Amino acid sequence: MSLYARALECLARREYSRHELEKKLSCHEQLPDELKSVLDRLEQQKLLSDERAVEQILHARSRKYGSKRIRYELQMKGIADHLIEAALGEFKQTEFSSAHALWCKKFGVAPSTPEERGKQIRYLAGKGFSSEVISKVLSDAREAEN
């Protein structure tokens, strides 16, 4: 199977960043610079796009994770910083609602003890939400109960 066919097969399943696809297909490269020319060809044909990969990752992860976690995943996939900043700029507008929905599903009740508060903070922090978002979620929960 040619390198181009392998790349198309991968892209048929899901969106890949250029860096990700390069890592995945590097072991199948037979000639030097063959992979680079295949990836360039795919980009010219608009079959490979880092922008679409970012959109797909954001869509899949935005309900469960915060901006810190998503930023980390995008960086690991080799996405350029300017694309990450643009995508997360839009995401930060809805990040609070995602964190609040996740908090409601997991806890639903404002913490009554410092231990419970710590547990809720650690949970949301582990999901990649910033301390500002976490404190807003918990303060809104406390206000709602009063």
Q: What is the pLDDT of residue 52?
A: 95
Q: What is the pLDDT of residue 90?
A: 83
Q: What is the pLDDT of residue 1?
A: 83
Q: What is the pLDDT of residue 93?
A: 85
Task: Walk along the chain (146 residues) in steps of 10 and give the mean pLDDT of each run.
Answer: 93 95 92 91 95 94 94 95 92 91 93 94 96 94 80
Residue 48: strand, helix, or coil: coil
Let me know: does 25 contact 10? Beta carbons within 8 Å.
yes
Q: What is the pLDDT of residue 82?
A: 95
Q: What is the pLDDT of residue 31?
A: 83
Distance CA 22, CA 35 (A): 7
Distance CA 140, CA 134 (A): 10
Distance CA 121, CA 22 (A): 38
